[in-house]
């Protein structure tokens, strides 16, 4: 009689990747903190049948970021988030209006609210962090439950211990180079594209290497966040497309450089939420105000990714093409010397002057 070979179950990194996929499809995940447990589903992916299931489990609570709570004039007792008890008659329409600011100006009054204070908000905080990492609106229905482990087994739910997950959610996932290949480009016939893949199952990131930069000298480098609307569609609402092409052209003219193309669309909130922000801008809000109304911070990007790629490629010093001092601070904090800030002022249009002014006034960009 032969025994079945043992197969190791998924670790926390794999379970977090599963949890993100589950949440995007509206499948609940089980969050645990010691003996405490709660089922969580983002409002954006929640269906009416699932909401009724959650009500049968216990008293649903809505977790919102402090940014969204400030917009809705909700009292905040937990610092970075607010917890609300769902009214007995609250359905998907009410929840959607709480999560998505699209109709805030048309329907500004959504209370009265039953804010929750005291207790342990750690499970709610973790639920919001997971929703953000899945590029969903940071508004989550959370139902505290007893015997969470048994319930998770019975319903085949992904279980996330939040203390274990916090370490992975806070760190920059290690990146491994998958492949590189020569790519002649308009900017330079001597181009090479490197593909980097994070171990947490997230989006891949790209390094476009121009020429053969000397690893012992500061390299002309740019951290460019993906912008589908600007880079691909030629949007006039931002300066991203012109910055991308100008940076590559300058590297081509100098004969060497590295442009990191980081898949952090919309300052790290994802394309769908970026389009929501654009819709709010059409209502008169600037880019920072729009992010806040959606429940996000000014900038949700993680520039540690770029530093990690450059170090993996063998660089220790850069001449950084940027107007954003935060990038310089991050690079130096990750052990990369920034020997020079190279200004990149291109792409101003009548349509994006307000956007650029906001970047300068509220985000500290040197324009």
Neighbouring residues of 278: CB distance < 8 A, sequence distance ≥ 6: 237, 290
Q: How far apart are CA 205 and CA 309, in angstroms?
A: 9
Collapsing DSSP to helix, strand or coil, 365 comes out as coil
| Catalytic annotation, pick one of 15, 68, 125, 301 | 301
Please state, in angstroms and rounded to a whole number, the distance separating the CA atoms of residues 195 and 177: 6
Dig out the tokens for 277 from the structure.
């922000």
Considering the candidates 78, 100, 286, 299, report the single residue annotated as catalytic. 299
Active site residue 299: yes
Q: 301 catalytic, yes or no?
A: yes
Edge-to-edge strand list for the sheet holding 205-211: 175-182, 191-198, 205-211, 256-262, 219-225, 317-321, 337-342
Q: Which residues of 280-289 are buried (b: 16+ CB within 10 A; e: fewer)?
A: bbeeebbbbb
Residue 268: how many CA atoms within 13 Å on its side-chain side?
Answer: 16
Kindly state the tokens that stand for 304.
């540690």
**Tokens 């809000």 belong to which residue?**
285
Orientation of helix 92-99 relative to helix 48-57, angle to 10° = 100
Q: Where are the alpha helices (DSSP H) in the chain?
A: 12-24, 48-57, 66-72, 92-99, 122-133, 148-155, 162-170, 240-254, 265-268, 271-282, 287-294, 304-312, 325-333, 353-363
Residue 18 phi/psi, 5-degree rounding, is -60, -45
Q: Looking at the annotation, which residues are catalytic?
A: 299, 301
């Amino acid at each position: 009689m032969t025994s079945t070979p043992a197969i190791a179950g998924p670790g926390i990194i794999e379970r977090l990747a599963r949890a993100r996929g589950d949440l995007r499809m509206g499948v609940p995940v089980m969050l645990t903190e010691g003996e405490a447990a709660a089922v969580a589903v983002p409002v954006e992916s929640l269906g009416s049948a699932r909401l009724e299931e959650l009500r049968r489990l216990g008293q649903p609570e809505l977790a919102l970021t402090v940014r969204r709570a400030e917009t809705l004039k909700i009292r905040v007792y937990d610092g970075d988030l607010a917890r609300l008890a769902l009214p007995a008659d609250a359905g998907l329409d009410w929840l959607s209006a709480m999560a998505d600011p699209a109709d805030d100006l048309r329907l500004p009054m959504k209370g009265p609210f039953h804010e929750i204070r005291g207790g342990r908000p750690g499970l709610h905080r973790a639920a919001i962090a997971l929703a953000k990492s899945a590029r969903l609106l940071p508004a989550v229905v959370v139902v505290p439950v007893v015997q969470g482990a048994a319930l998770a087994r019975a319903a085949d739910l992904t279980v996330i211990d939040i203390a274990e997950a916090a370490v992975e959610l806070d760190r920059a996932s290690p990146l491994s180079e998958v492949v590189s290949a020569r790519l002649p480009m308009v900017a330079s016939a001597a181009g090479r594209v490197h593909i980097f893949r994070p171990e947490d199952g997230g989006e891949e990131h790209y390094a476009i290497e121009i020429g053969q930069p000397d690893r012992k000298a500061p390299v002309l480098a740019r951290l460019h966040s993906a912008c589908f609307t600007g880079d691909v569609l030629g949007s006039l609402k931002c300066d991203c497309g012109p910055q991308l092409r100008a940076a590559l052209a300058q590297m081509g003219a100098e004969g060497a450089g590295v442009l990191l193309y980081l898949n952090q669309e919309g300052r790290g909130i994802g394309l769908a939420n970026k389009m929501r922000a654009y819709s709010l801008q059409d209502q008169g809000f600037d880019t920072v105000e729009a992010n806040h109304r959606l429940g996000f911070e000014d900038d949700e990007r993680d520039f540690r990714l770029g530093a990690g790629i450059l170090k993996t490629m063998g660089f220790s010093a850069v001449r950084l093409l940027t107007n954003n001092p935060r990038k310089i601070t991050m690079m130096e904090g990750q052990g990369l010397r920034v020997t020079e800030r190279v200004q990149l002022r291109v792409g101003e249009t009548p349509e994006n002057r307000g956007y650029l002014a906001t970047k300068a006034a509220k985000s500290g960009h040197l324009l």
